[in-house]
Amino acid sequence: RSLKFQYSNLNVQHPTSESAIRIRGVARQLGMLRSLRELNLRSTQLSGNLCQILCDLQAPLESLELPSCSLIPADLDFL
C-alpha cells in the first residue's frame, strides 16, 4: 500500500535514451503494484516526467508526496 523512494540517482533533467528506458521501467513496476495507495518520491529529479512515472498506476493514489522535488508547469498540469 505504501512505497517510499528515499533517493534516486535517475536524472531526468537531461534526458537520454537510457533515462527514457529507465523511466518506463519504473512506471511499469509501479503499475504492477495494484494496491499502491501512498507514494513518496523524496529527492527524485522528476522535472517534466511526473506523467510518465505515474501513468501506469492501476488506481488513484490517496497520498503523493514530492518533498525536495523540482516540478515544472507540465508536472502540475498533469496533477
Give the tens place of pLDDT for each residue, 40-69: 988 777 788 889 889 999 999 999 998 888
Q: Does residue 12 carry a pLDDT above 70?
A: no
Q: What is the pTM of this model?
A: 0.79
Amino acid sitting at position 60: P
Under a CB-based contact definition with an 8 Å cutoff, are residues 31 and 56 in contact? yes
Q: Does residue 75 carry a pLDDT above 70?
A: yes
The CB-side HSE value for 64 (13 A sphere, CA atoms) comes to 12
> What secondary structure letter does DSSP report for 43?
T
The confidence score (pLDDT) of residue 9 equals 62
Structure-model confidence comparison of residues 7 and 74, the more confident one: 74
